[in-house]
């Protein structure tokens, strides 16, 4: 496809075969299996649970699993009705469930209460838009796993499948001014989260028990533990092990401030209206650590899609979420400088590589692809990560 032509893919269209130029990557399907659960089998169980809280007139309807972004916790949309103080209510709600362990989850464990409390506390302490959280249920007998319920928020989300920068998405079709408004508003969310005072006190429940004298050391230790768990099924990934060695050799001299990090600070985890955030979602990776973690993740999450766009012959959105631009906006907005971005973007790429090991293995599990000859072939950001380790990526 000519580089000055906007590529388009309709959902269900086949991707071009790019194995010769993309490090043997396998093009992602137009839809991805996430769960073997039957959402309709959950409806009577969810209704029974709701009736245990509100015996008078509780009911659940319009239940469906969403094909929204994310490859981790499961998301169930439903309409609930009940009587509260003799007044009938009807709410559009969302249930977040830990994935079934047999469905090759991304993370080794899912602390739904931790996510619930993070969303709740952010809503109490800031003007950052988060959904209203209603209930956390710890007892797995109701739906087979703990879960929490929050309000549904209407709006638009930059799609992951197919990626928003591949064409035929509302964000791809937006004007430069609209994209700029969305980018700046998203960066402001990070600045406000990082401005929360006494984060280690307010979010003590996010403290990691991994070894390390600093929040950054504990974060990297936790990432290594995640890798060790992930590769029990796939076998060792030489590239990821090289990357961990690179991180140790390029450790920042100053660990920076400890702030609340959203963790999975991708624009694909935001609901927008008129290019402004109206709901910040997916708090599974929330943590305490340097502010650079969130900024690097937001930038690299876009770069992952940009690298894939280049591999697949699409123009992408190369002028969007550019590292220097995002850093400048963040520093101006927050009043804090950012350091050692090469380290933090490489750490982001390492964590993405672990995600790809798991989602690649999940695709094998669901019969969407064959097992590769080399484990590193599961890593869709393999070539970019190799360039980072060689000091050639951000040139």
Residues labelled catalytic = 264
For helices 382-389 and 341-365, angle between their N-to-C axes, nearest 10 degrees? 150
Residue pair 76/103 in contact by the 8 Å Cβ criterion: no
CB 347 within 8 A of CB 221: no
Residues 353/224, Cβ–Cβ less than 8 Å: no
* Residue ranges in the chain assigned as alpha helix (H): 39-53, 112-125, 176-194, 199-202, 215-234, 238-249, 292-312, 323-334, 341-365, 382-389
The two three-digit tokens of residue 285, written as one number: 């990776």
CA dist., res. 394 & res. 383, Å (int): 13
What is d(CA 17, CA 26) in angstroms, rounded to the nearest whole number?
A: 8
Contact 254, 301 (CB under 8 A): no
User: Crossing angle of helices 323-334/176-194, nearest 10°?
Assistant: 50
């Amino acid at each position: 496809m000519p580089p000055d032509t906007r590529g388009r893919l309709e959902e269900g269209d086949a991707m071009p075969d790019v194995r010769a130029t993309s490090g043997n990557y396998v093009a992602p399907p137009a839809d991805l299996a996430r769960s073997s659960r039957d959402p309709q089998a959950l409806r009577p169980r969810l209704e029974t649970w709701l009736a245990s809280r509100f015996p008078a007139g509780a009911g659940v309807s319009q239940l469906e699993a969403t094909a929204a972004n994310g490859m981790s916790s499961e998301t169930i949309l439903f309409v609930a009705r009940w009587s509260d103080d003799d007044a009938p209510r009807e709410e559009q709600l969302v249930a977040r469930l830990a994935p079934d362990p047999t469905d090759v989850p991304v993370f080794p464990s899912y602390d739904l209460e931790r996510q619930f409390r993070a969303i709740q506390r952010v809503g109490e302490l800031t003007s950052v838009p988060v959904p209203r959280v209603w209930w956390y249920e710890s007892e797995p007998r109701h739906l087979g796993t703990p879960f929490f319920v929050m309000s549904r928020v209407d709006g638009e989300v930059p799609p992951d499948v197919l990626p928003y920068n591949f064409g035929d998405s509302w964000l791809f079709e937006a004007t430069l001014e609209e994209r700029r408004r969305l980018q700046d508003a998203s960066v402001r969310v990070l600045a406000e989260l990082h401005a929360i005072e006494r984060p280690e006190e307010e979010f003590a429940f996010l403290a990691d028990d991994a070894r390390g004298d600093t929040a950054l050391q504990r974060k990297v230790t936790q990432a290594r533990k995640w890798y060790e768990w992930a590769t029990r099924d796939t076998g060792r990934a030489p590239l990821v092990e090289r990357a961990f060695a690179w991180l140790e050799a390029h450790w920042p001299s100053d660990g920076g401030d400890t702030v609340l990090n959203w963790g999975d600070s991708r624009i694909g985890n935001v609901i927008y209206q008129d290019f402004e955030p109206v709901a910040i979602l997916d708090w599974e990776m929330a943590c305490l650590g340097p502010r650079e973690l969130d900024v690097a993740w937001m930038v690299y999450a876009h770069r992952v899609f940009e690298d894939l766009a280049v591999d697949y012959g699409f123009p992408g959105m190369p002028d969007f979420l550019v590292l220097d631009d995002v850093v400048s906006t963040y520093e101006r907005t927050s009043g804090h400088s950012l350091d050692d971005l090469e380290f933090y973007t490489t750490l982001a790429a390492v964590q993405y590589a672990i995600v790809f090991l798991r989602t690649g293995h999940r695709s094998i599990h669901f019969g969407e692809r064959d097992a590769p000859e080399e484990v590193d072939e599961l890593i869709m950001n393999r070539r970019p990560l190799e360039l980072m380790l060689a000091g050639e990526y951000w040139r």
